Amino acid sequence: MKKQFAAAVDVGGTNTKFGWVDSAGQLYGSGSVKTGEFSTAEDLIHRVYLELQDLINFDETEAEICGIGVGAPNANYHTGCIHHAPNLDFAKSIVPFASIFTEISGLKCRITNDANAAAIGEKIYGKARDMNDFMVVTLGTGLGSGIYTGGQVLYGSDGMAGEMGHTCLIPGGRKCGCGRLGCIERYVSIGGLTTTFLEVSEGKKGELRPRQIQALAEGGDQDAIQTYRLTGEYLGLHLSSMAALFSPEAIFLSGGLAQSGEVLLSPMRKAFEDNLLTHHKGKIKIELSGLKKQKTALLGAAALAFSSFSQ
């Protein structure tokens, strides 16, 4: 049988990364372009496909390309479109990204949002291979979530379900990029942590990045410890509500902020356990993703292609 490959593309506000992945999750060559250099989706896709073709020489007697998987913000699995993505200049309206990719490459293409792609990656290549009910929560610039229920990704009626980041944590709280107030994404994310530290320290220690705040916390700085404690408690409390809704076997955390260590994870676990329904207590694991941080997005996008197109 021929070896199967998928092209994986991760569209981000700053960089669009791409590469080839085989069905065992091995990454063969990767590259990236600056997303902001392209004013239309057509221009971006032409360039990405050109570079993908240069990355690897397939011997068609031994290898077969099953399709293209794309992870992107505000991507709709059902329609193949990117809808009004605030951080993507080419997608201020609705852009049929998957069908443009197919037109240009002649390959089948599936698209979903980056957190759903991370969840599919966890299912195919990570720690959730034997699970049917789990969540992946990505903690970075924003807070994303991908939810598996009954062995399927939860897409909802319109293909856009699973947006835990835009569920309300604090009524009337911080203004979110989605236009609403108090979304958990404004509290449990890189920017959220920075803002909480500014509030807790009353601005006396300046605007610091999470890494600097983490170093302060590890050195015993009470403001920094309090900042991580609050952030962990917000996340743990909110995940306990998600557990009541979806009854997952496990919740996996990925993204830069998930790497903060016990200063974040310990208060998060305590708030989670304290607020779980009695019948869930002690049964739901929270762990770090089984995928390497730098590869999560591309492995997730490839897993989307394999799960959609592979025989």
Nearer to Zn ion, 115 or 301 (CB): 115
Any contact of residue 190 with Zn ion (CB under 5 A)? no
What is the smallest separation between the CB atom of 179 and Zn ion, expressed in angstroms?
7
Nearest by Cα to 82 from 305, 17, 74: 74
The one segment of 62-70, 141-149, 181-189, 226-234 that binds Zn ion by CB under 5 A = 181-189
Nearer to Zn ion, 142 or 210 (CB): 142
What is the smallest separation between the CB atom of 286 and Zn ion, expressed in angstroms?
23
Any contact of residue 178 with Zn ion (CB under 5 A)? yes
Nearer to Zn ion, 69 or 142 (CB): 142
The one segment of 51-59, 78-86, 178-186, 250-258 that binds Zn ion by CB under 5 A = 178-186
The contact pattern for Zn ion, residues 27-56, with x = CB under 5 A and - = no contact, is: ------------------------------
What is the smallest separation between the CB atom of 171 and Zn ion, expressed in angstroms?
13
Size of the site for Zn ion (CB under 5 A): 5
Any contact of residue 166 with Zn ion (CB under 5 A)? yes
Any contact of residue 238 with Zn ion (CB under 5 A)? no
Q: Which of 98, 109, 117, 176 binds Zn ion (CB under 5 A)?
A: 176
HEC sequence for the chain: CCEEEEEEEEECCCEEEEEEEECCCCEEEEEEEEHHHCCCHHHHHHHHHHHHHHHCCCCCCCEEEEEEEEECCCEECCCCEEECCCCCHHHCCEECHHHHHHHHHCCCEEEECHHHHHHHHHHHHCCCCCCCCEEEEEECCCEEEEEEECCEECCCCCCCCCCHHHCECCCCCCECCCCCECEHHHCCCHHHHHHHHHHHCCCCCCCCCHHHHHHHHHCCCHHHHHHHHHHHHHHHHHHHHHHHHHCCCEEEEECHHHHHCHHHHHHHHHHHHHHCCHHHCCCCEEEECCCCHHHHHHHHHHHHHHHHHCC
Subset of 57-76 contacting Zn ion (CB under 5 A): none
Any contact of residue 139 with Zn ion (CB under 5 A)? no
Nearer to Zn ion, 110 or 166 (CB): 166
How would you label 252-264 residue by residue, b for 16+ Cβ within 10 Å and e otherwise? bbbbebbbbeebb
The one segment of 2-10, 36-44, 166-174, 201-209 that binds Zn ion by CB under 5 A = 166-174
Any contact of residue 183 with Zn ion (CB under 5 A)? yes
Any contact of residue 295 with Zn ion (CB under 5 A)? no
Contacts 24+ apart (CB under 8 A), 14-18: 16/44, 16/48, 17/297, 17/298, 18/48, 18/51, 18/52, 18/298
Any contact of residue 268 with Zn ion (CB under 5 A)? no
The one segment of 98-106, 126-134, 136-144, 164-172 that binds Zn ion by CB under 5 A = 164-172
Give the binding site for Zn ion (CB under 5 A). Answer: 166, 176, 178, 180, 183
